[in-house]
Amino acid sequence: MHVSQEREFITLIEEHKGIIYKVIRLYVNHDEDERDLMQEILFQAWKSFPRFDGRSKFSTWLYRVALNTVLTFKRRPNLVIPHDNLASLNVSNTEKRSVDDTEALYQAIRGLGDLERMLITLHLDGYENDEIASIIGLTKNHVAVKLHRVKETLMNQLNA
């Protein structure tokens, strides 16, 4: 890789690192696994970057790399996914309710299957159905149907 490509890669990763953090948070909740997964996603992105041709947005491409890496990582034996202990947080009632609501949503999303988790994560990040279809490899209509079902499932879980 040329120095200019290296600089471009670093700049793009810095601009879009939130994608990586979000994907990691939805799949693992253990510091050591988070660090390992971050390194693996960055390595896979670095390795694949010379083949990034710009036909899709960099963020779309990075999501695909991150999700594929996470799914491969998840198959690793002995992956620890403990539950967060929100009781140890020292926040006001309003902040605690917001943290509790956010954590409840993350927990509900974590309970979904891999495909459904990918769909809702991309949707919540503002991707259109055609972009999601491109990342995941489904038709736009299939994405719409599955998203509708995932939203219903999450609403039922969160309102239970």
20 and 94 in a single domain? The answer is no
Q: Residue 101's domain spans which residues?
A: 85-160
20 and 77 in a single domain? The answer is yes
**CATH code, domain carrying 129:** 1.10.10.10
54 and 111 in a single domain? The answer is no
64 and 53 in a single domain? The answer is yes
**CATH code, domain carrying 29:** 1.10.1740.10
111 Cβ contact partners less than 8 Å away, ≥ 6 residues apart: 157
Query: Apex CA 76: angle with CA 27 and CA 85, to 5°?
Result: 40
**What are the pLDDT tens digits along the chain (160 aa)?**
678 888 999 999 999 999 998 888 888 777 788 888 999 999 999 999 998 988 888 998 999 899 889 888 776 654 444 333 333 333 334 444 455 677 788 888 888 988 898 899 888 888 899 989 988 888 999 999 999 999 999 988 888 7
pTM for this predicted structure:
0.63
